[in-house]
Structure 1
């Protein structure tokens, strides 16, 4: 599979998985949603805020604008549940058009950016973009584990289920 097609698939998967996760999270009480359940960013809310920071406020801007904003990875940038879910879903939809705008050769290049500590870095473009989607999958997995621990149902988020859904869509 060519990199452009591969990353467009991952961007569509990201939208799908984010929507399914947020549907499940919406059923959780506010107390459980904000409770420290032992995740790296403590709560479901903290982890969703981290996804907003990492995927949308940091990495998206690095890829789309070539800048590295200064924002703490554990920042609560959106305190409201509904607004946070809306921002996550809206942010997820931004990746596919950005990816589609890049010429095929861009995937063989590098991404040059500055780390949170101010260190310049140059990494393989495609591998770093893969990190963004892998990072989202990792934290969605943490949240589904938290949902299970809280006795809540959680969605099946495996990529193969998304591919099956796409294959059977009209």
Structure 2
């Protein structure tokens, strides 16, 4: 197993920090600019933010059994930016609370789930939790590129330079 609860907790806090940064930077755009198709996989900044929220909700539903609302892959959950931001910050808080409960024993177990296409899979929980964090980072990178192209600097995004990072000496 290559993940432990401390790594998951750190990644959950990193996710919140980066989510706040993304919304602060994206908030500098007009709604029209955020929703403009810029050729990204999910077309726009707005739809890519929606996709990250969709995936976080899908994985958290699988991990916790909590019934988060999701729609189909690539379908925006929220048209309104402020509602999207609020929902995204809420799931980031839920991910932190979830990560705080993780144990090595839970992470070592397998998870069986049915994906959005109806296909049932089984994978180790540690792998799926790490995938959730990796997925967030992947799509945040896409948004960061779109923001840079729009002349908006998101600032420092590197994990070792996250504010309030406390590591055992």
User: So what's the TM-score if we normalise by structure 2?
Assistant: 0.90
Gaps of 5+ in 2: none
**Structure 1 residues 44 and 70, CA gap change in structure 2 (3 angstroms):** closer
Aligned equivalents of 2:112, 2:106: Cα separation in 1: 12
Q: 1:130 is matched with which residue? A: 130
Residues 1:17 and 2:21 are matched in the alignment:
no
Q: Is the 8 A contact 1:67 1:113 kept in 2?
A: no
**Structure 1 residues 86 and 70, CA gap change in structure 2 (3 angstroms):** closer
Q: 1:72 is matched with which residue? A: 72
Q: Secondary structure at the match of 1:37?
A: coil
The count of corresponding residues between Structure 1 and Structure 2 is: 166
Gaps of 5+ in 1: none
Q: Secondary structure at the match of 1:122?
A: strand
**Structure 1 residues 167 and 102, CA gap change in structure 2 (3 angstroms):** closer
Q: Secondary structure at the match of 1:102?
A: coil
Aligned equivalents of 1:69, 1:82: Cα separation in 2: 17
Aligned equivalents of 1:115, 1:31: Cα separation in 2: 32
Computed over aligned residues only, the root mean square deviation of the Cα atoms, in angstroms, reads 2.1
- Provide Cα deviations, 1:108-163, integer angstroms capped at 9, x if missing partner: 1111100112121100110110000010011111001001111222222121221x
Q: Secondary structure at the match of 2:156?
A: coil
What does 1:5-154 correspond to in 2, within 5 Å? 5-56=6-57, 58-65=58-65, 71-154=71-154
Q: Is the 8 A contact 2:70 2:77 kept in 1?
A: no
User: So what's the TM-score if we normalise by structure 1?
Assistant: 0.89
* Bigger helix fraction: 1
Q: Is the 8 A contact 1:11 1:92 kept in 2?
A: yes
Aligned equivalents of 1:19, 1:90: Cα separation in 2: 11
